[in-house]
Amino acid sequence: MISSSFLGCCEAEGSEEISVEPALIDEEADPRDLLEYDIKIKNNAEERRDLYVIVSDISESGEVSYDDPSELDQASSITRWTQITRGVIELSGGEERVIPLKINIPNQAIPGTYHAVITFARGSNRLMAEDAAKTKNESKVMINIKIKKNEVELAEVSEFGTKGGVITKVPVEFKTVINNIGNKDIIPEGEIVIYNKSGKLIDSIKVSETRKTVPAGKKTEFKTYWESQKSIGRFKAKLMMYYGQDKKDLQDVDTFVLMPLLFLVILIIFVIMSVSLLTYLLLKRSMAADESAPVEMESRPIENERTPRVLEITSDRQRSVKNIPQKDNKNKNKTPGDKYVINLRSK
């Protein structure tokens, strides 16, 4: 808890040129609450003043933090919860202005009391204003917020499944990532149920043998291993977990193919041998068809008795030779001793 002397000092501080109201905001709130205020600032000087808004957390010991807001914890930093203009505020002499302030309490806010200070620092640029906020007497608004113990248990599955679609070695590794988006630590429990491609339940395994905590606002990874017992094929894994007093469920589904490396090698060899055998049989059949092609013979006598007659042989499906005619219609006087010349041709 911040000391009252420190608060009193800060409340009393403030430049005479710039006045700010209210000087203190003291509230109790629940996670998810939205607090809204109007901050009145007035330039009491006759000349124009440029102001920059600087929001800083204050530790329990009273130390003011000027860290980058993006590096602060969302669950315990008023600076992260505060919404207010961060640009330059230009005030003419005697001018008064209202600046909206919103403090949005996140769902994961941790119960407790938190302190911060909003400084309206003078300067011609932000760097000069930040330096003035650290070293000079500038106008401030002190903030004290007590987050009541309103525990919210809320989680989700952000990742579930195996490392790849096809698994070649056992045991099969399942990765489960639980995201706690509530403000209370949880210890999820449950199992992964394995089904074959027919939808029959074949096994179930616990997600974690040891109880593992998922902190509020954080993610935790669980690794689970399944001994497949020589199972091969396509499977479906269903995540069934629960957490909290109300046993809220966490579910997800993943599918994968289990094919051990040895079986995969045997399958590839079998495919290669089958293709080679099929290629060989087709080639052998083609060669046999060429060798068994039939030959057909045709003949025709030559008109000139002294010129040998021509015998034409044509390839066909069945081997046959036509009879060489003994008589020619055009020259019936030719004797059986006529000569022939054989020509071979393919159809």
pLDDT score of 127 more than 50: yes
The confidence score (pLDDT) of residue 298 equals 52
pLDDT score of 6 more than 50: no
The phi, psi pair for 66, rounded to 5°, reads -115, 30
SS3 for the chain, per residue?
Answer: CCCHHHHHHHHHCCCCCEEEECCEEEEEECCCCEEEEEEEEEECCCCCEEEEEEEEEECCCCCEECCCHHHCCCCCCHHHHEECCCCCEEECCCCEEEEEEEEECCCCCCCEEEEEEEEEEECCCHHHHHHHHHHCCCEEEEEEEEECCCCCCCEEEEEEECCCCEECCCCEEEEEEEEECCCCCECCEEEEEEEECCCCEEEEEECCCCCCCECCCCEEEEEEEECCCCCCEEEEEEEEEEECCCCEEEEEEEEEEECCHHHHHHHHHHHHHHHHHHHHHHHHHHHHHHHCCCEEEEEECCCCCCCCEEEEEEECCCCEECCCCCCCCCCCCCCCCCCEEEEEEEC
pLDDT score of 317 more than 60: no
Could you tell me the domains of the chain?
4-147 (2.60.40.10), 155-261 (2.60.40.10), 295-346 (no CATH)
Of the listed ranges 11-25, 48-62, 79-93, 141-155, the one predicted with least confidence:
11-25
CA dist 122 and 54 (Å) reads: 11
Judge whether 305 and 334 are in contact, CB under 8 Å: yes
CA dist 52 and 331 (Å) reads: 129
The confidence score (pLDDT) of residue 294 equals 59
Tell me the average pLDDT across 143-166. 89
* Band (286; pLDDT cuts 50, 70, 90): confident
Q: Where is pLDDT greater, at 43 or 170?
A: 43
Per-residue pLDDT tens digits for 41-76: 999 999 999 999 999 999 988 899 888 888 899 999
CA dist 256 and 262 (Å) reads: 18
